[in-house]
Every structure is written in structure tokens, then in C-alpha cells.
Amino acid sequence: MARFDEATAVDGVNGTYEARLDPEWTVSGNPHGGYLLAILARAAIAADGKQPHPLSASAVYVAPPEVGPATVVVEPLRRGRAASQSRARLIQGERTCVEALFTLGRLDEADGPRWVDAPPPDVAPPDQCPVSPTEPPGAGVRVAMLDLVEQRLDPATLRRGADGAGDIRGWLRFGDETPFDPVSLLYVADSFPPATFTLGSVGWVPTLELTAYVRAVPAPGRLRVRQRVRQLSGGMVDQVCEVWDARDRVVVQATQLALVRMA
């Protein structure tokens, strides 16, 4: 089993990088969207050579790649003192599977927010939240990456059907307790089950577009995660994910548009 930093490693020069999509970081055999975005971020950072952290990422998922070799091509758009921008594409064969725009910069580990609009949400303590299995009951999918991360969902937020709130909360950490970094936060922002599950969705909920803002280098420890539905209509859902670290700072927030199938 590859650790996250190993599974997202890239190798190359001059804007072209090789990666290997790991079979463990998958959902029903498909490489996970946040995992793929982290690989693109590693390549963008390597190509820039100056700015070490992703500050923002906006990705469109064109076609699902397969486990195995892939190529990432990075096009620098602007290099600056405070921030740089670049475009990255993940390619298999002659097909572009994921394309993303990145803003890169440097986050201060000691920095804290000057103002936030709301405190962290209430979540049951970790020991009251069961560990999520790789084959969640009723989901119809196998989430292989749950062998490598410890995901604990608050049972009070998992009510399904008429009582569902479209709002899932819980805790996340790597299984070996490796600290999260700004790149792995891109995975975290897409890691929780779709909140549509509480409203009666079935099967996989594939992401069409994901935009994430990384706001801080997370403190060691579990992350507190809230994923909620903003609107569900026309076979699509837009969801918001917000993540807090052990210091109660928002470290990443994301919005995504996804396809959804209702029971």
C-alpha cells in the first residue's frame, strides 16, 4: 500500500511529468478525483520551482482515467513573487482526463485567521463516530482508499430519506497518522461521501468540476470535515466541503458540481 505522498509522486522536467495512478486510491476501481487533483498539484509545483503550496485549484473531470501510468503536462501562465498561476493536464494515451488551473504560493504555518464567518460545526467526538468501511452498506461502491485513511462519520448526520439533512460531518486522518500538508488537503476536500446519500442518492456520484481554496498549513491531528448539499436538481448536485484542523482553523474549502442518481 502506497502512502499518499508516494502515490501522488511525479517525475520529470520541463513541464512534462510521469505519474502512476495507484489502485488503492480509488472508488469502485476509478482513481479518486481529489487524489488526481493532488497529482496535478505536485506537477504544477515541480514545474514552477518557486512556490511550494497550492492556494487554489479548479479542475474539470473530462474522462475517468485508469489505474496505471499517466502523464501530466504543465503550462506556466504567470510567475510572480507572491503567487504563480499554471495549467495542468492529466493525460492517458492521447486523451485528456483531467484539466486544472492552479494558483501557487507560500502559506505561513503560524498564520491564523483575522476573521471568519462561523465557528467549526458541532461533530460528535471521534470515539463516538464509527470508522467507515471500504464497502459502505447500501452505497453499492467499494472505496479502496478507506484502507489507507481513517474516516469517521457522525452517526447523527447519516439519517436517510425524509429525515436526511444533506449535511454529513465527521473526522479524517491518514491511517498511519502522517500529517496532512497543503497538497493532500486537495484530496481531503473531495474525500467524504456525497451528502446526497442522506437524501436518497444511489451509487457513485462522479465529479464534473471541483474548485478548492487551501487556506492554511494544517496542524497535526485529525481534521474536522463538513460536506453539505447546496442544491440538488436536474440530475446534478452542487456540494460544499469545509475542513478545520486541530486548531479550529479553516484549512481548505471546496465547491463541486457532480452527477447524481436518485433511488
Residue range 51-73, pLDDT digits in tens: 999 999 999 999 999 999 999 99
Tens digits of residue pLDDT in 212-225: 999 999 999 999 99
Residue 201 in grid coordinates: 442518492
- Phi/psi for 106 (5° steps) reads -135, 125
pTM of the full structure: 0.95
Which residues, 6 or more positions from 234, have their beta carbon under 8 angstroms from its beta carbon? none
Residue of 187, 215, 214 whose CA lies nearest to 24 = 187
Residue 163 confidence (pLDDT): 62
- Whole-number pLDDT of residue 160: 75
H or E segment and range at residue 110:
none
3-class secondary structure, 15: coil
49 or 112: whose pLDDT is higher? Answer: 49
Q: Which domains does the chain have, with CATH numbers?
A: 4-106+125-259 (2.40.160.210)
Evaluate whether 21 touches 50 at the Cβ level (below 8 Å): no
Average pLDDT for residues 74-86, to the nearest whole number?
Answer: 96
Per-residue pLDDT at 110: 77
Can you give the pLDDT at residue 161?
60
Q: Are 250 and 244 in contact (CB under 8 A)?
A: yes
Cα 78 from Cα 98, distance rounded (Å)? 21
| Residue 74 exposure: Cα atoms within 13 Å on the Cβ side | 29
Locate 39 and state its grid cell: 497529482
Tens of pLDDT, residue by residue over 154-191, are 999 988 765 668 999 999 999 999 999 999 999 999 99
Helix (H) / strand (E) element for 185: namely helix 184-188
DSSP at 88: E
pLDDT confidence band for 114 (50 / 70 / 90): confident
Residue type, 23: P
CB 192 within 8 A of CB 168: yes
Mean of the pLDDT values across residues 214-241? 96
